Structure 1
Amino acid sequence: MKAIVLAGGFGTRIQPLTNSVPKPMLPILNRPMMEHIIIKLRDELGITEIGVLLYFKPDIIKDYFKDGSDLGVKIEYFLPDDDYGTAGAVAFAKEFLDETFIIVSGDLVTDFDFKKIKRFHEKKQSQLTITLTSVENPLQFGVVIANEEDRIERFLEKPSWGEVFSDTINTGIYIIEPEVLDLIPYKQNFDFAKDLFPKMMKQEIPLWGCSHKGYWRDVGNPESYREVFKDIFSGEIKLPSKGQVSKIDKGNVYLEDGSKLNKKIRVEGTVIIGKNVSIDEGVTLKNCVIGDNCRISKHSEIIDSILWNDVKIGVKVKLNNSVICNNNTIKDETKASFGVIMAEKCLVNKKVSFEKDIIMWPDKVLEASSVVSSNIIWGNRYKSSIFEDGAVIGRTNIELSCEMTTKLAGAFGSILPVGCSIYVSRDYHKSTFMLKRAFVAGILSTGVNIVDPYNVPSNVMRHALSKTDDVVAGIHLRQSVFDPTQTEIIFFTNEGLVLDTKLAQSVERIFFRENFRKVKYDEIGSIIEDKNLRDVYIQTIENSFDKNLFKDSELKVAIDIMNGSTSDIYPKIINELGVENIILNAHKSEKLKPNDIVKTQENMQNIVRGLNFDCGFLIYPNGHKLQVIDNKGELIYDYKLLLVLLALLDSTTDKKLKVILPAWAPDFVTYDNIEVSREKLSSFKAEQLKEYDLIADSDGHFAFNEFGLNRDSIFTSFKILELLEKSGKKLSKLHNDIPEFSYKGENIPCPSSLKGKMMRKFLEDAKGKKTSSTDGIKIWMNDDEWILMVPDQHNEYINLYVQAEDEKSAGKIFYSYQDKIEKWISE
């Protein structure tokens, strides 16, 4: 039997630990992670022929392991000339793999019994066996369902929370027969999970899953790296340590050659000490690892911490829960009581205090007596991911500082062609004015030009973006309506759609590695003013409607602009179209507070009711959301507004219309002339969305294809007026004609570590019932009643949506599953 060790990853999520070394070379007990894997393959399976797949910083790995003879194995290296995916890379070793082989990632820490996996493979006479296990957070892995005979029935690689259907995942440990390699094309991007497994399942070649309990950790981020050591010191996993062990004070010390320990030191737990280490008197060591050539001066404390090589610690330094990479100097009386992750070649001068868990990137210098209360470059929330659904959201001047925003812009500009142009727009708040300037500087430095429309709503910029070929992307900065302390920076593609996950990850990779493109002085981008976007947008909406339709109309409308960016747009359009109106709060103001929204709704209800108007519109400050009051002064709840609009379309169309909605939208009502699809909207590309007449959700967002693919409350409000005029119907009648049913959505607190388990339990509970996993897991109680669970992508809760015939039935369904979820969480 032979082995392949995968060692080509970039280690982006674990930055800055991988700033100078590839992830498989991160030290665990003063050995590279990959060395532990090689020792395990050698000792458990007797494997002596090992192929290592390289890509990122290959020379570091080759220089360390050489031919493998120091470990009693023979290593052969394979370096593809491009990134061909996990399976495509293995194809480069096809001639080497002339017998059964095992594939293991070089950045895993595990105590799985490889012999057990091999026996399972042989018993099943399998061509490809996948090792499975259950984890707390399955998002970064492939989620798997196997039947009672261990044959894999379903597989989904790196799902979102809405797609998770289990907490059982693919560990990336495979045993494979050589004939499987014939299914992998040479020099083509081909992945095990995305390409090979579906291909085998399509050809009905059995994939077998060997479920394994034990220790398995993909060391994917800095926190996970620290957790490995906590697990080692607590005895959850045992790994071989270098050096001779001896009892000192209250602990066990593993000591390598050339190291000197003063007799007057305090030791507790397990301490691993590398070569040529010097430790002075009065030092306290507890559950820590100290690499080669380190010096720890008098009366310092190293607790639950890892020091790599060539680290110098001054007098009375206190480190707790910290990782200190190579070649760092920490001078006297520095304190990191709550943790610090310090990349290489940093200098921390005397009496620096780290007030919270901090990340320091390479080559940073901290002045004496500094107090560090947040990460040196960005806030805690950006440790592993900075994007949330195509946006970066953070507290103004804290997470989203000017420095952070400039770096973010530099990362985004670096994925764009030099000389191209992008829109950068903002709302009217001074916070976005400040951050936009910082963003502009970062973009220009990458050689990208900016078309500046100044203060316009995001829907104006997105509309312009989707109608031009000269601008390749768009950025909009706005203050959050629901939390004025936060700024949102939203990224759009050239089609006006939010940045997808793949592009966001490309930006993050550059951001975390600080690998920004810096162009020559004569290639620096320029700024072009374009104040016509607003006028073009206004003209386009005006031209979208027949003015004669409203000319003799008796419709009367009240509109609350909510002091937003549409204040110099909406009045012009409605007056030009000739609709009788009253407009409220039509001036820009920074004073709107979240609880003002309820007051605004109540005020509009009273106005419509008191003046006997046909309807009232609430246009949210950024123009992205619409709420409607009917002619009786009743607020139409968002999900009912969707049904009212569909009913209007159904009664006025002379052709079949196609509508796409999210999985959680109500489906209690059917229509004669509307074909409704319920899908995961975020996975749809522009070309697919163009097939639909309306793209909507149950939260007050609507996009009509006749105007564009982007949600737009202004256009939608006029579309509603047009449909009302054509149908001759009253909103209250449409509102009241909605069949009686109950629809509710609520958040259930749930730690992220248990979300995968909840999805698995939810699916197990659904056996024998009709289910869907389009987005989350939906279970039907009968033809009309269902419950849908969708774990929130960014927060510590899961979303439950229930549709039922009445409130009593909805409550019964909801509370029964709430009880189940609470029980599953406590198990």
Structure 2
Amino acid sequence: MKAIVLAGGFGTRIQPLTNSIPKPMLPILNRPMMEHIILKLRDELGITEIAVLLYFKPEIIKDYFKDGKDLGVNITYFQPDDDYGTAGAVAFAREFLDETFIIVSGDLVTNFDFKKIKKFHEKKKSKLTITLTSVENPLQFGVVITDEDERIVRFLEKPSWGEVFSDTINTGIYVIEPEILDYIPYKQDFDFAKDLFPSLMAEEIPLWGYSLEGYWRDVGNPKSYRDVYKDIFDEQIKLSFKGEEKNISNAKVFMEENVELPEKVRLKGTVVLGKNVSIAEGVTLKDCVLGDNVKVKKHSEVLDSIIWENTSIGAKVKLNNSVICNDNIIKDEVKAPYGVTIAEDCEINKKVSFEKDIIIWPEKIVEASSVVSTNIIWGNKYKSSIFENGSVIGRTNVELSCQMSTKLAEAFGSTLPVGSSIYISRDYHNTSFMLKRAFLSGILSTGVNVVDPKNVPSNVMRHSLSKNGNIIAGVHLRQSVYDSTQTQIIFYTNEGLLLDSKLSQAIERVFFRENFRRVNHLEIGSVCEDNQLRENYIKQIINSSDIKMFQSSELKVAVDIMNGSTSDIYPVIINELGIENIILNAHQTEKRKAFDIVKFQQNMQDIVRGVNLSCGFLIYPNGHKIQVVDDEGELIYDYKMLLVMLQLLDITSSKQLNILLPAWAPDFVNYKNLNITRAKLTNFKADELREYDLIADTDGHFAFSEFGLNKDAIFTSFKILELIQKANVRLSKIVNNLPKFCFKGENISCPSSKKGKIMRKFLEDAKKKKSSSVDGVKIWIDEDQWILMVPDQYAEYLNIYVQAEDEKTAGKIFYKYQDKIEKWISE
């Protein structure tokens, strides 16, 4: 048997620990993580022929392991000329793999019994065996379901919470027969989970899953790196220590050669000391690892901490729950009582104090007596990802500072071609204006040109972006509608769609590594203004409308602009179309204390009733969401507005229309002319979306492909007026004629660590019932009644949707499953 060790990853999520070394080389007990894996392969399986697949910083791995003889193995290195994915990289070792082989990532820490995996593989006469285990948070892994015979029946790589159907995951440890290599193309981007496994399952080649209990950790971020050490010191996993073991004052001490350890030192728990470590009198060491050439001066405390190599720690320093990388200088009386991570080559001067969980990036100097309360890069808490659904959201001038905005722009621009052009737009708030200026300078430094439409709503910029083939991307900055202390920076593709996760990760990789492209002075980008976006948008809506029909109608409408960026757009359109109207809150203001949606709704209801209007519209400030008040002055709730829209389309259309809705959209109404698809509304390509006449959800967002693929409240409002005029019907009648069903959405608190388990329990509960896992888990109670559970992607709760014949029945269904969920969480 041979082995492949994967060692090519960038380690983006664990920055800044991987700033100068690849992730498999992160030290665990003064050995690289990868060394523990190699020793395990050697000792448990007797493997001596090992291939190491390299990509990022390969020379560091080669220089350390060389040919492997010091470890009693023979190492052959393979280095693809590009990033071809996990399986694509293995194809480069095809000639080496002439017998059964095991694949293990070099950045895992595990005590799994590799002999058991091999025996299972042989027992099943398997061509490909995947090692499985259960974890609290399965989002970063491939989720797997096996049948009673342990054959894999479902597999989904790195799902969102809405897609999770189990907490059983793919550990990245595979046993494979050489003939499987025939299914892996050479020099093509090809992943095990996304490409190879689905293709094998499509050809009905059995994939076997062997579930193991034990210790398994993907060391993915700084916290998980520290947690590995806690688990080692708590003896949850046993790994090989370097050096001679001694028992000193009831502490286990492992010392390599040439260590200075005086008698007047307090030692507790487990202490690991590398070569040439020097400890002064009065020092306290507890559950800590000190690398080679570390020096600790008098009366300092190093508790539950990891110190890498060549670091000097001054006198009366207190480090707790900390990670200190190579080549740092920490001077006297520095205090980090609650945890700090300091990347390499930093100088921390005297009497510096760190607040909880601070990240210090490389080559930084912290002035004496400073109180460090925030990370240098991002926010007051480490985040492995800065994007949420194509957006970056943060507290203005705190997390989203000008520095952050500039660096984010540099990272984004570095992924775009030199000389290309993008839109950068904003709303009217001073915060957006400030951060846009900072963002703009960062973009220009990468050689990307900017077309500046200034203050326009995001839907206007996106609409123009999708029509202009010369603009390859768009960025919009706006103040949050619901929290005026926060700003959003939203990124769009050349088709006006939000960036997908793959593009977001590419930007993050550049951002965290600060690998920015800085062009020479002749290539610096230019800025030109485009004041025609607004006018072009207005013309296109007018041209797409039946002006004669509107002018001859008796429609009377009130529209609340909500002090938003559509204030100089909407009144122009509605007046040009000749629709009698009342416009409210059409002025832009920075001084609004809070966004009181209930007050806006109540005012609109009173006006529609008092003036006897056809309807009232609430256009949210950024032009993306609409709410509607019918002719009787009743607010049409968002999910009902979706049903009203579908009903209007159905009765006015002379052809079949294709509609795309989320999985949780109500489905108790049948339509003659509508073909409805329910799916997860993310990661669709533009060409796929164009197959649908309407893309909508239950939250007041509508996109009509005849005008554009982006949610647009302005166009939607005129579409509603057009449809009720064509149907010659009042909105209240449509609402009152809807079937008497109940549809409701609720939230149930749930720790992220339990979400995968709850998804699995929901699926187990649904085994003898009709169910779906298109997005979350949907269980039918009978033909028309169902419950759907979707774990929230970012917050610690579950989204529960219930459709039932009445309020009482919906409550029974909800509370029944609420009790089950609470029981499952507590188990």
- Provide the TM-score with structure 2 as the length reference: 0.99
Amino acid in the other structure paired with 1:374 = T
Shift of 1:262: 2.0
Partner SS state of residue 566, structure 2: helix
Note if contact 2:373-2:380 (Cα within 8 Å) is conserved in structure 1.
no
Partner SS state of residue 824, structure 1: helix
2:313 counterpart of 1:310? no
**How far apart in 2 are the matches of 1:532 and 1:768?**
59
Q: How do residues 22-101 of structure 1 correspond to structure 2 at under 5 angstroms?
A: 22-101=22-101
* Structure 1 pair 381–391 and aligned structure 2 pair: CA distance change class (3 A): farther
* Structure 1 pair 113–85 and aligned structure 2 pair: CA distance change class (3 A): same
Partner SS state of residue 261, structure 1: coil
**How far apart in 1 are the matches of 2:780 and 2:742?**
15
Note if contact 1:335-1:352 (Cα within 8 Å) is conserved in structure 2.
yes
* Structure 1 pair 512–526 and aligned structure 2 pair: CA distance change class (3 A): same
**How far apart in 1 are the matches of 2:742 and 2:282?**
69
Shift of 1:266: 1.0
1:707-754 Cα shifts (integer Å, max 9, x gaps): 100110011001111111111100111111111111111111111111
2:652 counterpart of 1:631? no
Note if contact 1:453-1:530 (Cα within 8 Å) is conserved in structure 2.
yes
Partner SS state of residue 522, structure 2: helix
Note if contact 2:771-2:780 (Cα within 8 Å) is conserved in structure 1.
yes
Q: Which residue of 2 aligns with 1:360?
A: 360
Note if contact 2:8-2:55 (Cα within 8 Å) is conserved in structure 1.
yes
**How far apart in 2 are the matches of 1:251 and 1:821?**
44
**How far apart in 2 are the matches of 1:380 and 1:493?**
30
Note if contact 1:558-1:583 (Cα within 8 Å) is conserved in structure 2.
yes
Q: Which stretch of structure 1 is more off in the superposition, 408-417 or 202-211?
A: 202-211
Shift of 1:381: 5.0
Q: Which residue of 2 aligns with 1:351?
A: 351
Note if contact 1:358-1:375 (Cα within 8 Å) is conserved in structure 2.
yes
Shift of 1:177: 1.4
2:200 counterpart of 1:209? no
Note if contact 2:137-2:756 (Cα within 8 Å) is conserved in structure 1.
yes
Shift of 1:16: 0.8
**How far apart in 1 are the matches of 2:525 and 2:824?**
55
**How far apart in 1 are the matches of 2:816 and 2:441?**
54
Q: Which residue of 2 aligns with 1:464?
A: 464
**How far apart in 2 are the matches of 1:704 and 1:574?**
19
Q: How do residues 125-140 of structure 1 correspond to structure 2 at under 5 angstroms?
A: 125-140=125-140
**How far apart in 1 are the matches of 2:160 and 2:333?**
45
Q: Which residue of 2 aligns with 1:477?
A: 477
Shift of 1:189: 2.0
Amino acid in the other structure paired with 1:464 = S
2:800 counterpart of 1:797? no
**How far apart in 2 are the matches of 1:432 and 1:22?**
37
Q: Which residue of 1 aligns with 2:788?
A: 788
Q: Which residue of 1 aligns with 2:774?
A: 774
Q: Which residue of 2 aligns with 1:169?
A: 169
2:728 counterpart of 1:728? yes
Note if contact 2:329-2:345 (Cα within 8 Å) is conserved in structure 1.
yes
Q: Which residue of 2 aligns with 1:299?
A: 299
Note if contact 1:166-1:756 (Cα within 8 Å) is conserved in structure 2.
yes
Amino acid in the other structure paired with 1:152 = I
**How far apart in 2 are the matches of 1:95 and 1:711?**
52
Partner SS state of residue 286, structure 1: strand
Amino acid in the other structure paired with 1:277 = V
2:426 counterpart of 1:426? yes
Q: Which residue of 2 aligns with 1:260?
A: 260
2:691 counterpart of 1:677? no
Amino acid in the other structure paired with 2:774 = T
Shift of 1:579: 0.6
Q: How do residues 50-449 of structure 1 correspond to structure 2 at under 5 angstroms?
A: 50-381=50-381, 383-449=383-449
Shift of 1:801: 0.8
Note if contact 1:2-1:101 (Cα within 8 Å) is conserved in structure 2.
yes
**How far apart in 2 are the matches of 1:578 and 1:181?**
68
1:187-240 Cα shifts (integer Å, max 9, x gaps): 222221112211221221111111000000001111111110011011111111
Shift of 1:590: 2.2
Note if contact 1:482-1:593 (Cα within 8 Å) is conserved in structure 2.
no
Amino acid in the other structure paired with 1:373 = S
1:148-196 Cα shifts (integer Å, max 9, x gaps): 1101111111111111111101101111112222222222222211122
Q: How do residues 536-685 of structure 1 correspond to structure 2 at under 5 angstroms?
A: 536-594=536-594, 596-685=596-685
**How far apart in 2 are the matches of 1:63 and 1:521?**
38
Note if contact 2:375-2:381 (Cα within 8 Å) is conserved in structure 1.
no
Shift of 1:383: 2.3
* Structure 1 pair 301–382 and aligned structure 2 pair: CA distance change class (3 A): closer
Note if contact 1:481-1:593 (Cα within 8 Å) is conserved in structure 2.
no
2:706 counterpart of 1:706? yes
**How far apart in 2 are the matches of 1:593 and 1:619?**
19
**How far apart in 2 are the matches of 1:183 and 1:578?**
64
**How far apart in 2 are the matches of 1:755 and 1:145?**
16
**How far apart in 1 are the matches of 2:816 and 2:589?**
46
Amino acid in the other structure paired with 1:423 = Y
- Provide the TM-score with structure 1 as the length reference: 0.99
Partner SS state of residue 103, structure 2: strand
**How far apart in 2 are the matches of 1:635 and 1:314?**
67
**How far apart in 1 are the matches of 2:203 and 2:578?**
63
1:502-539 Cα shifts (integer Å, max 9, x gaps): 10000000001000110101111111011111111111
Amino acid in the other structure paired with 1:342 = I
Partner SS state of residue 617, structure 1: strand
Partner SS state of residue 603, structure 1: helix
1:574-609 Cα shifts (integer Å, max 9, x gaps): 111111111111100123455511111011101101
Shift of 1:92: 1.7
**How far apart in 1 are the matches of 2:441 and 2:249?**
57
Q: Note the residue ranges of structure 2 that are not aligned, 5 or more in a row.
A: none
2:696 counterpart of 1:696? yes
**How far apart in 1 are the matches of 2:413 and 2:78?**
33
**How far apart in 2 are the matches of 1:86 and 1:57?**
17
Amino acid in the other structure paired with 2:513 = R
Amino acid in the other structure paired with 1:654 = S
**How far apart in 2 are the matches of 1:414 and 1:286?**
45
Note if contact 2:263-2:281 (Cα within 8 Å) is conserved in structure 1.
yes
Amino acid in the other structure paired with 2:117 = I
Q: Which stretch of structure 1 is more off in the superposition, 184-193 or 63-72?
A: 184-193
Q: Which residue of 2 aligns with 1:6?
A: 6
Amino acid in the other structure paired with 2:465 = L
1:280-337 Cα shifts (integer Å, max 9, x gaps): 1111111111000001111111111100000111111111111110001111111111
**How far apart in 2 are the matches of 1:94 and 1:596?**
63
Note if contact 1:267-1:285 (Cα within 8 Å) is conserved in structure 2.
yes
Partner SS state of residue 820, structure 1: helix
**How far apart in 2 are the matches of 1:694 and 1:676?**
10
**How far apart in 2 are the matches of 1:183 and 1:547?**
59
Amino acid in the other structure paired with 2:283 = V
Shift of 1:247: 2.0
**How far apart in 2 are the matches of 1:219 and 1:66?**
24
Task: Report the number of matched residues.
Answer: 827
Q: State percent identity of aligned pairs.
A: 74
**How far apart in 2 are the matches of 1:593 and 1:797?**
28
Note if contact 2:359-2:382 (Cα within 8 Å) is conserved in structure 1.
no
Amino acid in the other structure paired with 2:493 = T
Partner SS state of residue 565, structure 1: coil
Amino acid in the other structure paired with 2:714 = I
Q: Which residue of 2 aligns with 1:502?
A: 502
Q: How do residues 510-529 of structure 1 correspond to structure 2 at under 5 angstroms?
A: 510-529=510-529
